[in-house]
Amino acid sequence: MTNSYPFVVFGAEFKGKRVLVTGGTKGVGEAIVRRFELSGASVATTARSASAPGLAPALFIQAILGTARGVQNVVDRIQQGRRRHWAAANHGERRNPS
C-alpha cells in the first residue's frame, strides 16, 4: 500500500472492527479496502480477480458473488477463521448487459 493518501485518516477510527468489502480489488472497492485498512480495521475482501498489488487484506477470497456457490464460499471461508461480527461494505457491481 502506498504511504500517500489524499484524505485525512484517523488511524484508530476502525481499530478492532472487522469489515467485509465485496469487489475490493479494483476501483471504488479497492479504495474502500485501503481506507478501512488505514483506519485500523481488519479487512476481508472478495473479488473475481486476484488481489491488487500492494493490497494486504486480512483475508482475500476469490469468488463470484453472482452465484450461490460463490456466496457460500465466502461464508464458509469467514466461518473457518471463526471471525464473527463482520460489517459489510458493498460498493455495487455494474455489468454490461449481454
Highest-scoring range by mean pLDDT, 2-11, 53-62, 78-87: 53-62
Residue 82 to residue 39: CA distance in whole angstroms: 23
Q: How confident is residue 50, by pLDDT bands cut at 50, 70 and 90?
A: confident
Per residue in 1-45, pLDDT (tens digit) is 445 667 777 778 889 888 889 888 888 888 888 889 889 999 999
